[in-house]
Structure 1
């Protein structure tokens, strides 16, 4: 008989962990989360995933000869994905760094600089959007953060460049710190980040891959990173994927925030919940894994969208998140939950609930779905990998806490 996991038991544990007011609790909000915001079909998604964003950029720049040259050269480099705009942007920057005074792969320094700027401008235009209401998954997350007076600040890490988290935090009047201080040309305060000098009731918001309102600006002989309250046109938006070796002017925010992710996981009994993350960023994966190995009291929970296996282009069933599974099978304090299966304590098993239980927890039973299909055994599903469903789970915790 194969291993199985009792969904009610693990949901109770998760609820208990999230109800603590003195433990280090964090969330990692990644590219899949904006897809959870409901909109009428012609307008969904509010912000596309990486593949959708890449298609948009390719369509917008298809008439640009330099961009077409770039894609042709990219096709020759098989290790780089042409369907991932972050990898395309990395390729542009890596070519730019070696193009000084000459030409590389048919593009000169000026053309590569303009390509980078144009790509970032198009990304900023596409994802500069407003949350459609005040009842979105982002708002529910913020309401949960604000539900109890915490002794340890909640930390939100994100690889997204958009401003959806800022909008939700501000609309719910949640004070937060993102590493920048000042009002005219906000600058990055490394000491405040590393020494945790901000009040504990302020949520920490760490934008690991930059933001559409961060800019790289010349100040005399130096370049500095600033944050603005507005999205500027024709500016050097600071958007960067993690696998690029940055020049000095770009390193400081990125390296400081990656270090902050490691520091958070190394805190005693820390809990980090990953939402909308596909484990496709090797540097972030290494950071998480190394911190977990260094701190056996920490727990990282990956809530994955969809089922354990999915069909590929040939209609064959393959692992949906192979990198996540490989890591979780070898690291006891990295757990992965998909809709139909989970890897918990390195053990893979399907969700299995005893439906004959006479007294199920009324607040949790709603999060266990029974899937019945003709000629197939019934399955139990836990769909917290849907960011919307997970934030409803958080909403239930608020109600339970207030009722207690």
Structure 2
């Protein structure tokens, strides 16, 4: 039976992050805020997509405002909007589906009196309140300076490199900015200026900013990006602007001005992966965005020397039992089916989950080649043994145990610990070598 060695892969990741000339990037996505430890009753710092969907619905349900020339409240209009999304085949639409559909209707509503029962004014007000509620929920601060975000920022700040670190994120929140600024780590996000920092397309495309500045590319926009007078994108520090939010839930961009940052940053991701021997580490990404998947896969096809490592939270498969009368049916559920299909057909896309990995197109369980590995080889204690009870044909435990291994680095908090320990290892190596 074939296995993947987690010790070997841990060393590979360590060596990759230690090479100062190799283009290295991180892709931080929706699952990462869930890894931030919070005081009891305060978790999560930011909810997942399902939680954010419920929050927006609950908040809008409280709205009693009736738009001018409309016959219903915003709450009733939002309920009707969700019903229209369901008609398109989305059984249980999330906030990204809803906002994408809303933006699509806004695109064709100009000059029309009625689109699926909505006026142009009603659609504009719905879009404004949805983005406002998203921004309110995401406008949070990290609980302390020991979060995975701070550990990522510390690693960036403590490793001298000949090539800059590039961080891509689909998140709208300001957690990365907070961590970097609290540690005085310089970064560039595409905006320049003081009063109304504007998006500098040339600076993004030419990439001629200082090497020690980390590149922070917010592909889907941010809660502090706005559209002024429907033509100019700018970044604010007040979070109290009256202009439209630049929040992109998907590749559907309904306004040319809003398109500009998105297209430039998608192109930046493509250019990064087309560099020789580039490595992109994904964390918190579930491969649910087909447009981003296409961008990544096309770049990997064009550049066989590039590598993408997707660190996925939890198991690749979940086994459940369903009872019907006296019969019990065992079902195996694949938690990351899209990621699995992509990785099995693309040798330079690897996925690492808690129980399994797909590396070089080969899917297998984790198991160290040598079982007496030292702590030095297990950075951040990311590799953990797990004893599984052995069952007989009747499904009862035999008393024997089968040892399996878990690689926990798909948890963003463990990745943070890994980077934290890596700083110490690198500094020790420098002192030892007398450099």
Check whether the contact 2:106–2:254 (CA below 8 A) recurs between aligned residues: no
Out of 338, 358, 370, the position equivalent to 2:353 is 338
Give the TM-score, by structure 2 length: 0.89
Q: Distance in 2 between the 1:10 and 1:374 partners? A: 27
**What SS does the corresponding residue of 2:41 show, helix, strand or coil?**
helix
Check whether the contact 2:142–2:175 (CA below 8 A) recurs between aligned residues: yes
Deviation at 1:197, TM superposition (A): 1.5
Say if 2:267 is the partner of 1:259. yes
1:213–1:311 CA distance, 2 compared to 1 (3 A): farther
**What SS does the corresponding residue of 2:376 show, helix, strand or coil?**
coil
Q: Distance in 2 between the 1:43 and 1:358 partners? A: 38
Match for residue 87 of structure 1?
Answer: 97
Deviation at 1:95, TM superposition (A): 0.9
Out of 244, 247, 258, the position equivalent to 1:239 is 247
Q: Which has the larger radius of gyration?
A: 2
Match for residue 121 of structure 1?
Answer: 132
Deviation at 1:356, TM superposition (A): 4.0
Match for residue 9 of structure 2?
Answer: 10
Match for residue 417 of structure 2?
Answer: 392
Match for residue 329 of structure 1?
Answer: 344
Say if 2:183 is the partner of 1:184. no
1:89–1:383 CA distance, 2 compared to 1 (3 A): same
**What SS does the corresponding residue of 2:344 show, helix, strand or coil?**
helix
1:95–1:356 CA distance, 2 compared to 1 (3 A): closer
**What SS does the corresponding residue of 2:81 show, helix, strand or coil?**
helix
- Runs (5+) with no aligned partner, structure 2: 63-74, 323-329, 391-400, 430-435
Check whether the contact 1:335–1:346 (CA below 8 A) recurs between aligned residues: yes
Match for residue 140 of structure 1?
Answer: 151
Deviation at 1:358, TM superposition (A): 6.3
**What SS does the corresponding residue of 1:378 show, helix, strand or coil?**
strand
1:246–1:265 CA distance, 2 compared to 1 (3 A): same
Q: Distance in 2 between the 1:313 and 1:91 partners? A: 37
Aligned residues: 399
Note the 1:209-228 alignment, pairs <5 A. 209-218=220-229, 223-228=231-236
Note the 1:102-113 alignment, pairs <5 A. 102-113=113-124
Out of 338, 349, 356, the position equivalent to 2:364 is 349
> Residues 257-308 of structure 1: CA distance to partner in whole angstroms, max 9, x if unpaired?
0000000011111110000000000000000000000111100000000001
1:285–1:53 CA distance, 2 compared to 1 (3 A): same
1:73–1:359 CA distance, 2 compared to 1 (3 A): closer
Give the TM-score, by structure 1 length: 0.95
Q: Distance in 2 between the 1:252 and 1:364 partners? A: 41
Q: Distance in 1 between the 2:285 and 2:167 partners? A: 13
Deviation at 1:311, TM superposition (A): 5.6
- Runs (5+) with no aligned partner, structure 1: none
Q: Distance in 2 between the 1:170 and 1:365 partners? A: 25
Match for residue 83 of structure 2?
Answer: 72
Q: Distance in 1 between the 2:239 and 2:121 partners? A: 24
Deviation at 1:233, TM superposition (A): 4.8
1:5–1:189 CA distance, 2 compared to 1 (3 A): same
Q: Distance in 2 between the 1:47 and 1:321 partners? A: 22
Check whether the contact 2:85–2:93 (CA below 8 A) recurs between aligned residues: no
